[in-house]
């Protein structure tokens, strides 16, 4: 029976006996854990030679000479390729009460499990599996468990208070369909304490959040802006400074007419870490769902995305350039007049689309 225990080898001496590829794999793992690694071997393989040349690994270019080579070691790894040498190292480690990672699991007093790490907000989760004599099975298990953790389907919120301030993630929710939210977006939602949500964010994803997640609806609709942008900025700052993990879940992409830049600046002005997760913008996703490519060889060679709330800026007036008006229903007639006045022909095809409908609501001409 193996007791699963994590060893903190940061800044501690670990001796590796053997300089071949089997040792190189163990050395890489030990270095990643912060160990001070010394290799004892008459030669080293190319991978270890690079680490030695860079100063990351110390090298004693000789054969193993006995237990004095293990003085001051917290852990020893032996994979010399010589059974007698490995047995001697293991015996000396036992006498010195130093844990030993041997070339074969049966000879080891310590074991390196297969591991994978998943970033869960400001916490990194490490999953380890040990199966004794079947390391390939252990590797397969941790990969599958890691995939589940990364999917965002599990509740990975902290169970202890977060020291200091929290963080904010501006997550693009895509054009509204749950399946078009990115994997990274789901990961961050699985660790969020507070979710500040827009009207066009994927509602199914929000509905499935655990009851202990506080959801704040700041959605805007035409003619109804219940919470001004300054107050939304202040809310993000307040929650993060209170030590909470905050996801600002938006429809589309945070930086495509989503005021994500303003929210990021507000948070960073208070020293709050901010991550931006791109989303599939409705400017291209909704036309695509309706069977309309915004660029197509021989038809449209470019696309301009503008807000329909204001007077239209100058846009290319040829029919080979697509213009996408977001939030443009209220000024649609005036926008059409402006496009024609700027030189776009009245024969230019127009489609009125909605994220709620897979087919165009209307197809006409200017």
Among residues 72, 74, 64, 27, the alpha carbon closest in space to that of 48 is found at 27
Split at pLDDT 50, 70, 90, the class of 224 is low
pLDDT given at position 167:
95
pLDDT given at position 196:
96
Split at pLDDT 50, 70, 90, the class of 152 is confident
pLDDT given at position 73:
96
- pLDDT greater than 70 at residue 54: yes
Mean pLDDT, the chain, integer = 88
Instruction: Give the model confidence (pLDDT) of 167-183 as tens digits.
Output: 999 999 988 888 889 98
Highest mean pLDDT range out of 209-213, 217-221, 226-230? 209-213
Angle at which helix 21-32 crosses helix 46-53, to 10 degrees, equals: 40
Ordered by start, the domain boundaries in the chain are 13-112, 115-150, 167-280, 283-365
Among residues 34, 27, 10, 15, the alpha carbon closest in space to that of 112 is found at 27
Domain 13-112, second-level architecture: 3-Layer(aba) Sandwich (3.40)
Query: How far apart, in Å, do the first and last CA atoms of the chain sit?
Result: 76
Residue with tokens 């990021």: 264
Select which of 220, 230, 250, 320 is catalytic. 220
Q: Is 250 a catalytic residue?
A: no
Select which of 92, 193, 198, 253 is catalytic. 198
- pLDDT greater than 90 at residue 154: no
pLDDT given at position 17:
96
| Residue 265, phi then psi, degrees to nearest 5 | -60, -40
Among residues 61, 103, 109, 73, the alpha carbon closest in space to that of 85 is found at 103
- CATH number of the domain located at residue range(s) 283-365 in this protein: 3.30.950.10
pLDDT (mean) for 42-71? 95
CATH 1.10.3720.10 describes domain 167-280: no
Q: What letter does residue 159 receive in the DSSP assignment? A: S
pTM of the model: 0.71
Instruction: Give the model confidence (pLDDT) of 72-125 as tens digits.
Output: 999 999 999 999 999 999 999 999 999 999 877 677 888 888 888 887 777 788
Q: Which residue has the higher pLDDT, 329 or 279?
A: 279
């Amino acid at each position: 029976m193996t007791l699963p225990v994590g060893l903190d080898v940061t800044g501690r001496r670990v001796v590796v006996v053997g300089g071949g590829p089997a040792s190189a794999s163990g050395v890489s793992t030990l270095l990643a854990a912060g160990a001070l690694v010394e290799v004892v071997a008459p030669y080293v393989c190319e991978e270890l030679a690079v680490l030695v040349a860079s100063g990351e690994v110390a090298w004693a270019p000789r054969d193993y000479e006995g237990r004095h080579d293990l003085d001051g070691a917290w852990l020893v790894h032996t994979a010399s390729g010589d059974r007698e040498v490995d047995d001697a190292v293991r015996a000396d480690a036992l006498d010195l009460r130093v844990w030993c990672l041997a070339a074969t699991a049966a000879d080891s007093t310590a074991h390196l499990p297969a591991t994978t790490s998943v970033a869960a907000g400001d916490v990194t989760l490490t999953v380890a599996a040990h199966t004794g004599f079947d390391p390939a099975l252990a590797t397969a298990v941790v990969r599958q468990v890691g995939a589940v953790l990364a999917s965002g389907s599990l509740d990975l919120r902290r169970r202890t208070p977060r020291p200091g301030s929290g963080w904010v993630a501006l997550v693009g929710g895509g054009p509204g369909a749950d399946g078009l939210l990115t994997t990274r977006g789901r990961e961050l939602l699985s660790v969020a304490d507070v979710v500040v949500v827009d009207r066009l964010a994927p509602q199914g994803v929000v509905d499935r959040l655990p009851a202990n997640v506080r959801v704040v609806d700041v959605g805007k609709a035409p003619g109804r802006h219940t919470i001004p942008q300054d107050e939304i900025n202040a809310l993000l700052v307040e929650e993060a400074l209170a030590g909470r993990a905050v996801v600002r879940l938006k429809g589309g992409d945070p930086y495509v007419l989503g005021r994500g830049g303003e929210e990021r600046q507000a948070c960073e002005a208070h020293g709050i870490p901010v991550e931006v997760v791109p989303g599939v913008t409705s400017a291209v996703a909704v036309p695509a769902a309706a069977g309309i490519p915004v660029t197509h060889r021989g038809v449209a060679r470019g696309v301009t995305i503008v807000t329909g709330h204001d007077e239209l800026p100058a846009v290319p007036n040829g029919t080979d350039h697509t213009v996408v008006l977001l939030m443009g229903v209220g000024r649609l007639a005036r926008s059409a007049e402006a496009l024609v006045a700027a030189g776009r022909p009245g024969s230019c095809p127009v489609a009125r689309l909605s994220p709620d409908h897979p087919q165009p609501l209307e197809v006409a001409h200017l």
